Amino acid sequence: MVIVTGGAGFIGSAIVAALNKRGITNILIVDELGMDEKWKNLRKLSYTDYVEAEQFYEELAAGKMEDNVEAVFHMGACSDTTEKNCSFLINNNYECTKLIANRTVENGSRFIYASSAATYGDGEKGFADEEENIGELIPLNMYGYSKQMFDLWAKNNGLLDRIVGLKFFNVYGPNEYHKDKMKSFIVKAFEQIIETGGVKLFKSHKPEYADGAQERDFLYIKDCVDMTMFFMDNPDVNGIYNIGTSAARNWNDLVKATFVAMGKEPKIEYVPMPQELQGKYQYYTCADITKLRNAGYDKPMTSLEDAIKDYVQNYLQKEEYLGGY
């Protein structure tokens, strides 16, 4: 059996789809479906069982876990970078991750969990995934800090030679439609273009960056899943790894590629960044994937333009999306 927490979510459901392509269907999906639309991500997937997260963690706390679990992909967490309920983030992103990590390691199963590039903060300390530097990083928000807390806990408890933490950068692609304000900007740009014919981007509040020239490491979900599955296929590779393209691109590039994929001329307006974001905004992120490459991952990355073209034309422009999935 393979367990995927957050299995109805964006990256989690894509991992389940990848397992299905390998003929693996003995999968337990753990999630909290709540009131949003992510249940729709489950419809085309094959799996053995589904359980709500609260019940799953209660059973883990009681010492229950199937003996035949080959691997656990722990993608379940609150991914809202603006979440202000710190106690909620501690419980959801830290305590629950400690619980499942302990049970999985005790069980002798493979444990692969989602960390985040948000742990790098403003990038002052760089973006190298060296484990000895974890404690020097200063996240800009509580979400990033909740992820760093577990990375540090795993390091301090000697687990990083037995488990894998993945620092996901800006992942985008199919199955993120339910994420509301946390959807990638490609979806938001696509929707703005349909509604208004143009796209609004934040102005820069740093003189070294032009408006719309703030840079991110944008990673297509298909590459993200390939990189994640590498760790299932290589159980001797452990530790913390960046999951990104190692190529920073700016928001102008992303929006122009979206216009091109839609067959339209770019029309961009720059608007002031909200005051509450200005001190917590990352102007530059770029994954150093040297460690991942040295571990043996050798597949090329999809270019931003090719990935956006695929996403827009083969997913977003399909009638099932425009009509509400």
State the catalytic residues: 143, 179
Neighbours of 48 (CB within 10 A): 11
Phi (first) and psi of residue 242, to 5 degrees: -75, 140
- Hey, which residues does 113 pair with through a beta bridge? 74, 165
Token digits for 255? Answer: 């929006």
Task: Transcribe 127-190 into DSSP letters.
Answer: S---GGGGGG---SSHHHHHHHHHHHHHHHTT-TTT-EEEEE-EEE-TT-GGGGGGS-HHHHHH
The single residue listed with the structure tokens 């216009």 is 259
Strands (E), the chain: 2-5, 27-31, 49-52, 71-74, 110-114, 164-168, 170-172, 199-202, 215-216, 218-220, 239-243, 249-250, 268-271
Contact predicate 29/50, CB 8 Å: yes
Cα–Cα distance measured from residue 115 to residue 241, given in angstroms and rounded to the nearest whole number: 9
